[in-house]
Amino acid sequence: MAQSGYQFDEPYLVRDLTADDTVLFTRLYRQILSAKGNVSVLLQTYFGDIRDCYIEVTSLAFDGVGLDFVEGKQSLALVKANGFPSDKILFAGVVNGKNIWRNSYAKTLDIIGELQKHCDNIVLNTSCSLLHVPYTLKNETKLADEYKKYFVFAEEKLAELAELKNILSADKPMETDVYVRNAALFNESRNCSNSDIQAKVSALLDKDFIRLPVFAEREKIQSKEFNLPLFPTTTIGSFPQTAEVKANRSSFKSGKITEAQYTDFNKQKIAECVALQEKIGLDVLAHGEFERNDMVEYFGECLDGYIFTEKAWVQSYGTRCVKPPVVWGDISRAKPMTVAYSVYAQSIIKKPMKGMLTGPVTILNWSFPREDISLKECAYQIGLAIREEVLDLEANGIKIIQVDEAAFREKLPLRKSDWRSDYLDWAIPAFRMVHSGVKAETQIHTHMCYSEFNDIIRDIDNMDADVITFEASRSDLTILTALEENNFRTHVGPGVYDIHSSRIPGVEEIKAALNKMLEKIPAEKLWVNPDCGLKTRGNAETVPSLEHLVQAAKEIRNENC
């Protein structure tokens, strides 16, 4: 009979811990472990290393400890420096649970070889749960073998663990067929490099990340350029993706309709959306994004260097799933991606029309990234491609351009001491590069959602956008204090209502939110908008919600003039 046991997941231990944190952890688990009897207890950690509490963890009466040797930068060094108790099992996370690339057995065997010098009992493990990767590669019937041979999904990762075990048990591990095939794969060239793109990244200079004139001068110039009213109203960009819109896209992809038919339908929907916004009375309009399936997948499809799966779905949040594109090679823009629809939308309205783009950090964060180059280099490649699109939009008369960074906060390292060196030092420049070449008269917007922003508010201000919209309604507008305390200079639109609910906010409710914002934000810097895109909503709640938003802004405007 198998021995019963429990696994306690404690990813919090990979964060920066205080002495009090460590004392509390030790006290709690001493109590828990004192009552375990004959039950085995595993402590599982992941997404980093436990450098602040390694001694305490290995001193407690756990039967096993799981460590991450993929994202845990110091995990191997901790074992080598401090040893590992002989009465415990090390669950060694050596297969990446968050990405889809094959494991390099040569590199992994090197890690295991070092661990065997200090550990008597090792169980091979994934670095974290397999929730973050698709289920099985067997479902990918359309992906070419030249690509598939480099990928493993959840089911295949379990096979990798078995193969590693078999290699280790062989008399001559390096001569096993499995090892030889794996080594040959990693010695192959994937033919994914673009020397021109690499040269462009290498040639980037400090000036490529700095927009001139400085913010205060641009603020004055743009005020005259747009002459917007106090508390200008806008949306985040997308409008409801109805069944009709989705059917049009599906028919085009399956070849049932021509590209001209597909485009004509989208233009019709854009015209209807623009007319609706004008009727509602919004000040800055968006074209509705009817041509887009997903804010990252759409751009991946337009960029060279990406490949796409057929059924590689992963959970995003709740019941929503996404199919992340895969960064296969060096990224570049072959042709304009959004210009035609944006120019068409602007041509049928006098009010300013926003060009809508996804930023390089979000595109990267919501893709499966390469493992053969740094995230910084990949972000800069994507940034150069989005920069070309920004300049094209500007050259074609689009004067307001929104570069969404919805996932900017999402990929901050769990350990705060790593935030700057491992993320912010390249993520912020990647965004700044995108808009550093535009004219002073061009207004750059961005949008962030799905996160708390208080602890990086200065970094967000340093992205040097002209306007930023936040998802803030679900956090009871707690971000307002951080904006005030840090003298946030960027014009800002904290969302006045939650689009994730089908509930229609009333005028007085929105006015109450705006009055609360005005306690912390200067009136001349405050924008009025929903807290996220409207793609997942229906017209039945979208239209009255926006009507109430505009009415509330008008009434607040009258009260403050």
pLDDT band at 397, cuts 50/70/90? very high
Return d(Cα 64, Cα 70) in angstroms, integer. 19
Q: Which of 118, 287, 491, 500 is catalytic?
A: 500
Give catalytic status of residue 500 as yes or no: yes
Return d(Cα 250, Cα 262) in angstroms, integer. 10
Q: What is the mean pLDDT of residues 223-232?
A: 96
Q: What is the mean pLDDT of residues 211-227?
A: 97
Answer yes or no: are the C-beta atoms of 237 and 402 closer than 8 Å: yes
Q: What does the block give as tokens for 235?
A: 């949306």
Q: What is the mean pLDDT of residues 441-454?
A: 87
pLDDT number for residue 1:
34
| Position 2 pLDDT exceeds 60 | no
Q: What is the mean pLDDT of residues 444-452?
A: 85
Return d(Cα 325, Cα 291) in angstroms, integer. 17
| Position 446 pLDDT exceeds 60 | yes
Return d(Cα 103, Cα 101) in angstroms, integer. 6
| Position 140 pLDDT exceeds 50 | yes
Q: What is the mean pLDDT of residues 222-251?
A: 95
More confident position, 450 or 554? 554
Within a 10 A sphere around the Cβ of 500, how many other Cβ atoms? 16
| Position 150 pLDDT exceeds 60 | yes
User: pLDDT tens digits for 112-135?
Assistant: 999 999 999 999 999 999 999 999
pLDDT number for residue 477:
73
| Position 48 pLDDT exceeds 80 | yes
Q: How many helices (H) and strands (E) does the chain have?
A: 21, 14
Answer yes or no: are the C-beta atoms of 4 and 40 closer than 8 Å: yes
User: pLDDT tens digits for 80-115?
Assistant: 999 999 999 999 999 999 999 999 999 999 999 999
For the chain, domain boundaries: 5-187, 220-560
Return d(Cα 251, Cα 243) in angstroms, integer. 12
CATH topology of domain 220-560: TIM Barrel (3.20.20)
- Residue 188: exposed, middle, or buried by beta-carbon count in 10 A (0-12, 13-18, 19+)? exposed
Within a 10 A sphere around the Cβ of 519, how many other Cβ atoms? 10
pLDDT number for residue 465:
97
pLDDT band at 315, cuts 50/70/90? confident
pLDDT number for residue 3:
60
| Position 75 pLDDT exceeds 80 | yes
Q: What is the mean pLDDT of residues 315-335?
A: 89
pLDDT number for residue 317:
74
CB hemisphere CA count around 141 (13 angstroms): 1
Residues 6 or more apart whose CB falls under 8 angstroms from that of 84 comprise 58, 65, 90, 115, 118, 119
- In this chain, the answer to whether the domains covering 5-187 and 220-560 adopt an identical fold is yes
The chain-wide mean pLDDT, for the chain, equals: 94
Q: What is the mean pLDDT of residues 54-76?
A: 97
User: pLDDT tens digits for 242-301?
Assistant: 999 999 999 999 999 999 999 999 999 999 999 999 999 999 999 999 999 888 889 999
Answer yes or no: are the C-beta atoms of 76 and 41 closer than 8 Å: no
CATH topology of domain 5-187: TIM Barrel (3.20.20)
Q: Give the strands of the sheet with 400-404, arranged side by side.
A: 354-358, 400-404, 443-448, 467-470, 491-494
CB hemisphere CA count around 85 (13 angstroms): 15
| Dihedral sign (CA 474, 478, 479, 480) | positive
| Position 451 pLDDT exceeds 80 | no
